């Protein structure tokens, strides 16, 4: 075949374009917060060069090899040159990376007392002066501490922090820092909005997608040390040997990054894959089946973490099917796991179709009486609020109410109820609000964070779980800013006392640039984004107004589902007299599940924080808020405010355009267009619907809906993702 010159030219242009395109694709967010390495500050750069001229790295197993690999690669990206890394110490070394036992006497004594503070996973980064020479040290008790220390060190450099007098002694405050993947074996993800599951079960165990390692690396860089691979609505097949072999292959990739694998255990597995005719936790054959199964699991995965269990919740099987309790079920599994140091993480997300009491009360009622009855390798996992991952909920009253049971905080990182992966919502703001909440359980200063990290009740183990927002999308999370939610979740699991602003700043610097002209306004934009979504979806304590099933968009009118508590009308209770759910003693009395100090505040509409007003009170449309505005007007104006906040976010983003690449700018800009459109949709649909009860005009200042209520009600989304 002959090509003309112009055809050849076209071919070259095409080839060049596709190379450029694939390059821009691989850099389009794939590197996460491990990406940006530019250092613009010359004095800082010089300091870094001095410290990293000659490095002694005391090597060892695969975790340390990874740490060394990260250090070499990271320094090269930052400094633009290779550092001299040696595995024997000498006089020229400007930096030492070694566990305690790899340090010489002099350096060990320079760190005296520090090693007791950092436990198994912590690290020390310290500049010490030995014989008049400044040496930078990264040390730890265990290998994993070195890996975490190296990641931290590189992050500090990327954020242009001076290392001159650094003295950082850090250890995680929470033991179990876990991701929960709601991934199905067919690779769909329940409530996943970033593509399909990373786990390619079909090709495992032979084919290990390089992405598994990138996943592990990203997690290790923020200290995540556990991952539950499968959906809580579990499939028993993952416990068969054919799948365990695949799980083992993933565990092998994650192990050198300090990450343990967990699986969800379907309670009826002994029947489904074991051929038994019962799954009764007190039945001796069932007990034996689980014992054998656990032994088998540990043959494949010697450091298997344990089981995450959703039982007797939303139709999932559980011990109650056999007249047994959550304690019977959890302890049976815990007994099987105990010899291998495995854990049971038993979820408290329960509400029953036969229980007519307020759904918000049911988990507390069911679980709190069991406090102290679970074996010591059982943790109870509780969602942040008493309903279900809403844009805003008061903290779950179980936090603080079970002193003898380690409670794992369950946050949702995937944005099931917060606009999927099209809305920019910075979730650490939400997490922080919950963690900072005062429980009054042992006097003042008994925050939820103190319950979770085990310090309030001296629990022996502590944990936090985040329902992952990760999928096969090139940028992992669908929305570039949803990466900040993965990052921020990890940071708070490491230290639940960090502020969301600190996290936003770190993430922006590590992901985009250190230029404060970019960082400051965008940080402010991220900070406001959470309040914006509350305002345009569910202001003033409203909740669960989402359309049902897929939870995409507004559906406050839905009232015909079989279970009452699946209907939005159950939650807002709008009628001609007013709106809101009375959870005070005159209503469901859910407030009684909180400490009396808090119940008192929540019980009176005058003292109840306005952001929870309609969560706890049913109030007349003309009820006057603190600022004198009547409730109907206030609701309408809050919805309007939410829309305006998104407009403001867009204008901030537009001004930041010059600090980042066009692709980085444009991707977010296009998503913001969706967010604005949907914010208006939420406002219009909810207000037109509530207006049918209030019978009042919209207040001045509110942009009038573009369509009528029938239009909004007619919208259907049979293929909304994640369902």
For residue 355, the minimal CB distance to ligand BDP (Å) is 17
Reading the block at residue 317, the tokens are 């099987």
Closer residue to ligand BDP, CB minimum distance, 223 or 319:
319
Q: What is the DSSP letter of 546?
A: B
Q: What is the DSSP letter of 303?
A: T
Closer residue to ligand BDP, CB minimum distance, 304 or 349:
349
Q: Report the relative pairing of strands 176-180 and 260-264 from DSSP bridges.
A: unpaired
The active-site residue out of 283, 314, 376, 667 is 314
Q: How far is CA 222 from the centre of its chain?
A: 12
d(CA 640, CA 643): 5
Burial-class residue 122 by CB neighbours within 10 Å (0-12, 13-18, 19+).
buried
Is-contact 400 450, C-beta < 8 A? no
Number of C-beta neighbours around residue 662 at 10 A? 10
Which residues are bridge partners to 167 per DSSP? Answer: 126
For residue 231, the minimal CB distance to ligand BDP (Å) is 7
Q: What secondary structure does DSSP assign to 310-362, as a single string? A: --SSTT---GGGGT--HHHHHHHHHHHHGGGT-EEEEE-----TT--S-HHHH
Q: Which residues bind ligand BDP (CB under 6 A)?
A: 190-191, 232-233, 310, 314, 349, 388-389, 416
Closer residue to ligand BDP, CB minimum distance, 191 or 246:
191
For residue 378, the minimal CB distance to ligand BDP (Å) is 18
CA distance between the termini of the chain: 51
Closer residue to ligand BDP, CB minimum distance, 388 or 473:
388
Q: Catalytic annotation on 314? A: yes
Closer residue to ligand BDP, CB minimum distance, 314 or 501:
314
d(CA 234, CA 630): 47
Which residues are bridge partners to 220 per DSSP? Answer: none
Q: What is the DSSP letter of 619?
A: E
Element (H, E) at 366: helix 359-367
Q: Give the 3-state DSSP-derived string for 29-70, with helices as H, strands as E and coil as C.
A: CCCHHHCCCCCCCHHHHHHHHHHCCEEEECCCCHHHHHHHHH
Dihedral through CA 114, CA 118, CA 121, CA 126, nearest 10?
Answer: -40
For residue 410, the minimal CB distance to ligand BDP (Å) is 8
Q: What secondary structure does DSSP assign to 429-494, as a single string? A: HHHHHHHH-B--BTBTT-BHHHHHTSTTTT-S--EEEEE----SSTTSSSSGGGHHHHHHHHHHHH
The active-site residue out of 416, 432, 433, 547 is 416
Closer residue to ligand BDP, CB minimum distance, 349 or 594:
349
Report the residue number whose CB is nearest to ligand BDP. 388
Closer residue to ligand BDP, CB minimum distance, 388 or 641:
388
For residue 607, the minimal CB distance to ligand BDP (Å) is 30
Closer residue to ligand BDP, CB minimum distance, 288 or 314:
314
For residue 417, the minimal CB distance to ligand BDP (Å) is 7
> Side-chain half-sphere of 723: how many Cα atoms within 13 Å?
11
Q: For tokens 């096969």, name the residue.
A: 472
Closer residue to ligand BDP, CB minimum distance, 143 or 416:
416
For residue 671, the minimal CB distance to ligand BDP (Å) is 23
Q: Helices 428-436 and 516-537, interaxial angle, to 10°?
A: 70
Closer residue to ligand BDP, CB minimum distance, 233 or 495:
233
> Phi then psi for 500, rounded to 5 degrees?
-65, -30
For residue 190, the minimal CB distance to ligand BDP (Å) is 5
Residues 6+ apart with CB under 8 A from 460: 376, 406, 454
For residue 465, the minimal CB distance to ligand BDP (Å) is 11
For 545-565, give one letter per residue: b (16+ CB within 10 A) or e: bbbeebbbbbbbbbeeeeeeb
Q: Catalytic annotation on 121? A: no
The active-site residue out of 143, 366, 388, 582 is 388
Is-contact 695 719, C-beta < 8 A? no
Closer residue to ligand BDP, CB minimum distance, 382 or 601:
382
For residue 310, the minimal CB distance to ligand BDP (Å) is 5
> Phi then psi for 221, rounded to 5 degrees?
-65, -15
Closer residue to ligand BDP, CB minimum distance, 158 or 191:
191
3-state secondary structure of 125: strand
3-state secondary structure of 82: coil
For residue 183, the minimal CB distance to ligand BDP (Å) is 12
Q: For tokens 């980085």, name the residue.
A: 664
C-alpha distances (whole Å) from 84 to each of 89, 92, 125, 372, 481 are 12, 10, 19, 55, 36
d(CA 483, CA 485): 5
Q: How far is CA 274 from the centre of its chain?
A: 34
Closest among 248, 243, 222 to 303, alpha carbons compared? 248
Q: Catalytic annotation on 206? A: no
Which residues are bridge partners to 57 per DSSP? Answer: 97
For residue 543, the minimal CB distance to ligand BDP (Å) is 12
d(CA 657, CA 667): 11
Closer residue to ligand BDP, CB minimum distance, 255 or 551:
551
Active site residues: 314, 388, 416
């Amino acid at each position: 075949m002959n090509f003309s010159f112009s055809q050849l030219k076209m071919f070259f242009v095409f080839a060049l374009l596709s190379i450029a395109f694939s390059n821009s694709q691989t850099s389009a967010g794939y590197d996460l917060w491990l990406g940006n390495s530019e250092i613009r500050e010359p004095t800082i750069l010089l300091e870094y060069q001095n410290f990293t001229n000659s490095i002694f790295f005391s090597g060892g197993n695969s975790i340390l090899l990874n740490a060394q690999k990260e250090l070499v690669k990271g320094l090269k990206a930052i400094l633009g040159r290779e550092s001299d890394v040696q595995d024997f110490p000498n006089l020229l070394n400007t930096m030492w990376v070694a566990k305690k036992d790899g340090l010489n006497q002099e350096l060990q004594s320079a760190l005296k007392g520090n090693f007791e503070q950092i436990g198994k996973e912590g690290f020390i980064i310290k500049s010490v002066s030995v014989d008049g020479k400044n040496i930078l040290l990264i040390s730890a008790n265990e290998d994993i501490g070195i890996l975490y220390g190296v990641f931290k060190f590189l992050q500090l450099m990327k954020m242009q922090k001076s290392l001159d007098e650094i003295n950082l002694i850090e250890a995680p405050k929470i033991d179990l820092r876990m991701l929960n993947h709601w991934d199905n074996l067919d690779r769909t993800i329940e409530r996943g909005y970033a593509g399909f599951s990373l786990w390619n079960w079909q090709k495992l165990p032979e084919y290990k997608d390089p992405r598994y390692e990138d996943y592990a690396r990203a997690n290790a860089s923020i200290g995540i040390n556990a991952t539950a691979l499968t959906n809580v609505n579990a499939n028993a097949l993952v416990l068969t040997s054919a799948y365990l072999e695949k799980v083992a292959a993933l565990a092998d990739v994650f192990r050198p990054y300090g990450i343990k694998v967990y699986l969800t255990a379907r309670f009826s597995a002994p029947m489904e894959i074991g051929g038994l005719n019962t799954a009764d936790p007190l039945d001796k054959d069932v007990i034996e089946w689980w014992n054998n199964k656990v032994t088998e699991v540990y043959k494949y995965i010697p450091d298997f973490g344990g089981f995450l269990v959703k039982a007797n919740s939303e139709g999932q099987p559980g011990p109650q099917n056999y007249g047994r309790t959550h304690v019977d079920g959890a302890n049976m599994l815990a007994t099987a796991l105990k010899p291998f140091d495995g854990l049971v993480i038993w979820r408290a997300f329960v509400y029953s179709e036969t229980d007519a009491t307020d759904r918000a009360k049911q988990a507390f009622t069911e679980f709190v009486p069991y406090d102290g009855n679970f074996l010591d390798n059982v943790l109870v996992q509780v969602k942040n609020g008493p309903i279900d991952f809403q844009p805003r909920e008061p903290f779950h009253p179980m936090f603080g109410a079970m002193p003898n049971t380690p409670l794992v905080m369950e946050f949702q990182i995937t944005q099931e109820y917060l606009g999927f992966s099209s809305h920019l919502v910075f979730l650490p703001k939400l997490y922080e609000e919950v963690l900072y909440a005062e429980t009054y359980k042992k006097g003042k200063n008994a925050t939820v964070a103190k319950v979770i990290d085990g310090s309030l009740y001296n629990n022996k183990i502590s944990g936090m779980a985040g329902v992952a927002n990760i999928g096969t999308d090139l940028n992992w999370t669908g929305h570039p800013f949803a990466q900040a939610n993965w990052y921020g979740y990890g940071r708070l699991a490491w230290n639940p006392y960090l502020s969301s602003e600190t996290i936003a700043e770190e993430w922006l610097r590590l992901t985009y640039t250190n230029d404060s002209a970019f960082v400051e306004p965008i940080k402010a934009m991220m900070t406001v984004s959470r309040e914006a979504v509350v305002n345009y979806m569910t202001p003033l304590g409203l909740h669960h107004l989402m359309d049902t099933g897929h939870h995409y968009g507004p559906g406050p009118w839905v009232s015909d589902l079989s279970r009452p508590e699946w209907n939005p009308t159950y939650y807002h209770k709008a009628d001609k007299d007013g709106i809101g759910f009375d959870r005070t003693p005159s209503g469901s009395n859910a407030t009684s599940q909180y400490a009396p100090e808090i119940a008192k505040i929540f019980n009176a509409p005058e003292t109840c924080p306005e952001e929870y007003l309609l969560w706890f009170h049913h109030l007349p449309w003309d009820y006057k808020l603190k600022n004198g505005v009547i409730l109907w007007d206030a609701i309408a104006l809050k919805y309007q405010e939410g829309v305006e906040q998104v407009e403001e976010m867009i204008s901030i983003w537009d001004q930041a355009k010059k600090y980042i690449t066009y692709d980085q700018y444009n991707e977010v800009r296009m998503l913001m267009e969706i967010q604005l459109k949907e914010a208006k949709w939420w406002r219009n649909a909810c207000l037109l619907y509530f207006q049918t009860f209030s019978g009042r005009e919209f207040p001045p200042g509110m942009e009038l809906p573009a369509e009528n209520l029938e239009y909004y009600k007619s919208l259907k989304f049979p293929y909304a993702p994640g369902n």
